[in-house]
A and B are shown apart, each in its own frame.
Chain A
Amino acid sequence: MGRAMGLAGLLLGLVVVPAVLVSTSLRHGAPRTEAEPSGWELATDTVPEDSLWPLPQQVLTYPRQLQLAPSRFQLVHGPGSSAGPGCGLLQDAFRRYYEYMFGHSWRRTRGPRPLAARAEPELLQLQVVIEAGDPGCDRHPQPTSSEAYYLTVTEPVAILKASEVWGALRGLETFSQLVHEDDYGSFLVNESEINDFPRFAHRGVLLDTSRHYLPLKSILTNLDAMAFNKFNVLHWHIVDDQSFPYQSMYFPELSDKGAYSSNLIYTPTDVRLVIEYARLRGIRVIPEFDTPGHTQSWGKGQKDLLTPCYNGRQPTGSFGPVNPVWNTTYDFMTKFFKEISSVFPDEFIHLGGDEVDFTCWKSNPEVKEFMKKQGFGNNYAKLESYYVQNILDIVSSYNKGQMVWQEVFDHKARLKPDTVVQVWMANNYAHELSSVTGAGFTAVLSAPWYLDYISYGQDWKKYYSVEPLNFPGSEKQKKLLIGGEACLWGEFVDATNLTPRLWPRASAVGERLWSSSNVTNLQDAYKRLTNHRCRMLSRGIAAEPVFVGYCAHEAR
């Protein structure tokens, strides 16, 4: 999915390449006008907020600093919390965030406070207090989960309050961003008060594991990076035309015949691992099984699923989209989505529905016959909608909500009231947002955030400058835009270049979706983003540079 690869993509590539060669101000590297203010000078008077990403809704920091001793500082459950030591999710997070904050410090041996310590008072603990009766420790994050938190950093203990564990995870990330080292290696944090919650509830990253297989490690590393940026949805575009790496229980032939090779698959264990790893970071995993188009690889392992294309009366031997006229198709989908519904715990499944090429359907005599019978005339969009509606019904019957690409809405399929429409076509997407929300459907925005479309220079700025609610519509409509997704389609991406291509460019999208709409200053963002990027490096994420400069802890 994405853009129709093939002709359109090739044309795009051909247009873009000469455009680059025609640039006027040709200098060695970036033109001088791109010079950032002190782009590579180490700021001596850094302010604590200089390091926060995304910027919280309300931040108050005070000049008074507190010291943290790695050997004594603890992340603990606070009194009155509905979560305790039995809350595996928080226990795991405590260990993880301790490591992020003090990990590379060698002075972690136990011991009393040395006499020649700094004068500042010591911060002994961060107490985490979950306030809701059911903290959510053993649940999966859902669209309605609360991610708000309230953080006060003051001596002798800092307090992190959140309704549910998801907010605590967000707060821990922020706290870890406040802790900094001074010139002597002492850990300090400014007294602060932070009140934070996300502007949009759906903040996702799309990964495509069909155009190129992504090893598990790649996916897990990416989940780490997502957590550092407060993303909360992994949209796993797991199969497509080129390969089918998902190992299905009911239909093992799908990956046996459809994967690139027998080792380039995701076993049920792999899938469980991704889901759990994500859960521990407050990230939902929404799988996408895109049909009826983008399904070439399904046909390898499932005979008679795809439409045979015809040349006159003869089958050509090639296949098109899923065959919408055979009952066997819906028998298959019923069984297949039963499995998917049980394997993936999220409330939603993405059903795709994009870029269906009608040519093959039009060539097939049975399909043509069916069109006549149904009275669809020559309108194949109606056939597509007929198919999609059936799939929506099937998936609904398993109590799952559905996400679809915009074509499904554009071609007027009858959607369920809670179907989420993902707007991806760049041309006039504001208009599309108006249409979708105007018709009463929830929308997720991806159109301006196709990060696979690389270009020279600081393109993070253009992602950052998107204002999702800039479309004509009422207050009520705007509430229906629940968030967005940064998409990294896989035509030119695999484990060799995934991380630097995605980060920190996706960070720009992350802040746009979390922070307040008035956080738009590019100079301030540049400062914070470069700091944030260095921090990601120190946490093992090979995020690429924003511009000229360096990090104290370079990539390993």
Chain B
Amino acid sequence: AENEPSWETPCTELHVYVSTPGCDGFPSLDSKESYKLSVSRGSMLLSAETIWGALRGLETFSQLVGRDENGTYYINETEIVDFPRFPHRGLLLDTSRHYLPLRAILETLDVMAYNKFNVFHWHIVDDPSFPYESSTFPELSKQGAFNAMTHVYTASDVRTVIEYARLRGIRVIAEFDTPGHTLSWGPGAPGLLTPCYMGKAPSGVYGPINPIVNSTYQFVTSLFQEVSTVFPDFFLHLGGDEVDFTCWKSNPEIRAFMMEVGFGEDYKKLESFYIQRLLNIVSSLGKGYIVWQEVFDNDVKLRPDTIIHVWKENTLQYLKEMANVTRAGYRALLSAPWYLNRISYGQDWIAAYEVEPLNFEGSPEQKALVIGGEACMWGEYVDVTNLTPRLW
């Protein structure tokens, strides 16, 4: 008939060509995700340096396939050369404010792959609950989870997440945030948190991790030894944000320590003291680390390969922070304008889309230190009932 499209001979195969061998490894910050896609009469070729590029190319290919009103699948002749602008494109999920069942995490990984995200930042524990089942310290989840039988991630769950992510070219970066955001660690690790004082007597309330006792560093070493083995990515996120000094200030032993070491009243120095020791521990375990911006802001001595995670949002101050961080020579990750948990009415995707991460004053070398960013979905108001439509 006259109006029928002229179909070419059907293409039966997409050839996928990967030049660097290796299917069994994990993706890393340095992984190459570039690919070329060539669709022409009688030939469809997807070529990539690595399997990670092949995954990205398969996603693109699947988006090109259309279906007409008769149900026929078709694809236009196409030439695509593609690679990511930023190597670290992440999503943060918070499984402490609300437990997220495994299927919610796996579903999120699927959708991340559809959107070419490649980092799952697992903010796994925090103040409200400790769902991570530790083999070294089983009491942490036994005492700290919302429900130790049902609201936990077993070692098997964690392995499942890591492998499911790997198969989609997604790195899993675990965050064990200290010394603040650790209330749930207390019940399962007596003596870890700082007892707050009301005058001369303990008030019964606890604060951040106690930085002045040796047991803290023994604990931290053992825990991170385990975490370093469980999570294969080179990087760990160590947190370091929002440390409330009030409790430390109230504790007489800590005040005495402050005098002893000459920190005076500057509790940022005490925070630094803790963080520095933590960073050394983690380095000696052969891991790199990412920290929230306070660690940089509070002048903690960092290794040059530390990645600073910029999150504070105050009328575009984050751009200044990006400039400062990169000027100091550190790599930076941007999250500040992408706090997706802060919902608002209307098409707010537009504001997120219009962010230009490199819109700050700096040299090209500085700008090259921005390795990417992360959309954050903090969990105060989010669980499996509303996670997916809120995120996507």
What residues make up the interface of A, taking CB atoms closer than 8 Å to B? 9-10, 12-14, 16-24, 26-30, 32, 34, 39-40, 452-458, 492, 496-497, 499-501, 537, 542-545, 547-550, 552, 554-555
- Assembled-state Cα–Cα distance A452/B351 (Å): 19
A219 vs chain B, min Cβ distance (A): 18
- Chain B positions within 8 Å of A9 at CB level: 346
Asked if B248 is an interface residue, CB under 8 A from chain A, the answer is no
B312 vs chain A, min Cβ distance (A): 5
- Assembled-state Cα–Cα distance A22/B313 (Å): 7
- Chain A positions within 8 Å of B242 at CB level: 27-28
Is B314 touching A548 in the complex (CB atoms < 8 A)?
no
- Chain B positions within 8 Å of A492 at CB level: 345-347
A264 vs chain B, min Cβ distance (A): 17
- Chain B positions within 8 Å of A554 at CB level: 99, 101, 150-151, 383-384
Asked if B296 is an interface residue, CB under 8 A from chain A, the answer is no
Contact of B385 among A24, A499, A552 (CB under 8 A): A499
- Chain B positions within 8 Å of A452 at CB level: 345
**Please, which residue of chain A has its CB at the minimum distance from the CB of B315?**
A22
Given contacts A40-B128, A550-B98, A550-B99, contact A28 B344 (CB under 8 A): no
- Assembled-state Cα–Cα distance A10/B341 (Å): 21
**Please, which residue of chain A has its CB at the minimum distance from the CB of B126?**
A28
Given contacts A537-B385, A545-B382, contact A550 B146 (CB under 8 A): yes
Asked if B219 is an interface residue, CB under 8 A from chain A, the answer is no
Given contacts A13-B347, A16-B344, A28-B242, contact A547 B381 (CB under 8 A): yes
Query: Interface residue count for B (Cβ, 8 Å)?
Result: 45
Asked if B94 is an interface residue, CB under 8 A from chain A, the answer is yes
A428 vs chain B, min Cβ distance (A): 21
B349 vs chain A, min Cβ distance (A): 10
The A-B contact count (CB < 8 A) is 128
**Please, which residue of chain A has its CB at the minimum distance from the CB of B392?**
A496
Is B381 touching A455 in the complex (CB atoms < 8 A)?
no
A-B contact pairs, 22 of them (CB 8 A): A13-B345, A16-B344, A16-B346, A20-B348, A21-B313, A28-B378, A29-B94, A29-B97, A454-B343, A454-B345, A455-B345, A456-B341, A496-B388, A497-B390, A542-B385, A545-B382, A545-B383, A548-B379, A548-B380, A549-B98, A552-B147, A555-B383
Q: Mark B291-317, 1 if CB is under 8 A from A, else 0.
A: 000000000000000000001111110
Best-buried of B342, B380, B386 by chain A (most CB within 10 Å): B380
Is B384 touching A457 in the complex (CB atoms < 8 A)?
no
- Assembled-state Cα–Cα distance A40/B99 (Å): 12
- Assembled-state Cα–Cα distance A57/B350 (Å): 47
A547 vs chain B, min Cβ distance (A): 6
Is A30 touching B315 in the complex (CB atoms < 8 A)?
no
Given contacts A20-B344, A455-B343, contact A500 B128 (CB under 8 A): no
- Chain B positions within 8 Å of A29 at CB level: 94, 97, 341, 378-380
Given contacts A28-B242, A554-B99, contact A40 B389 (CB under 8 A): no
- Chain A positions within 8 Å of B382 at CB level: 544-545
Is A453 touching B345 in the complex (CB atoms < 8 A)?
yes
- Assembled-state Cα–Cα distance A496/B390 (Å): 10
Asked if B337 is an interface residue, CB under 8 A from chain A, the answer is yes
**Please, which residue of chain B has its CB at the minimum distance from the CB of A553?**
B150
Q: Which 3 A-B residue pairs are closest in the complex by CB-CB distance?
A: A13-B346, A497-B389, A500-B386
Given contacts A29-B378, A545-B382, A548-B380, contact A456 B351 (CB under 8 A): no
Is B343 touching A545 in the complex (CB atoms < 8 A)?
no
Asked if B110 is an interface residue, CB under 8 A from chain A, the answer is no
B186 vs chain A, min Cβ distance (A): 13
- Chain B positions within 8 Å of A26 at CB level: 311-314
Asked if B129 is an interface residue, CB under 8 A from chain A, the answer is yes
- Chain A positions within 8 Å of B233 at CB level: none
Contact of A40 among B146, B244, B311, B347 (CB under 8 A): B146
B208 vs chain A, min Cβ distance (A): 13
- Chain B positions within 8 Å of A16 at CB level: 344-346
**Please, which residue of chain B has its CB at the minimum distance from the CB of A452?**
B345
Is B98 touching A545 in the complex (CB atoms < 8 A)?
yes
- Chain A positions within 8 Å of B390 at CB level: 497
- Chain B positions within 8 Å of A27 at CB level: 242
B198 vs chain A, min Cβ distance (A): 18
**Please, which residue of chain B has its CB at the minimum distance from the CB of A450?**
B345
B345 vs chain A, min Cβ distance (A): 5
Asked if B163 is an interface residue, CB under 8 A from chain A, the answer is no
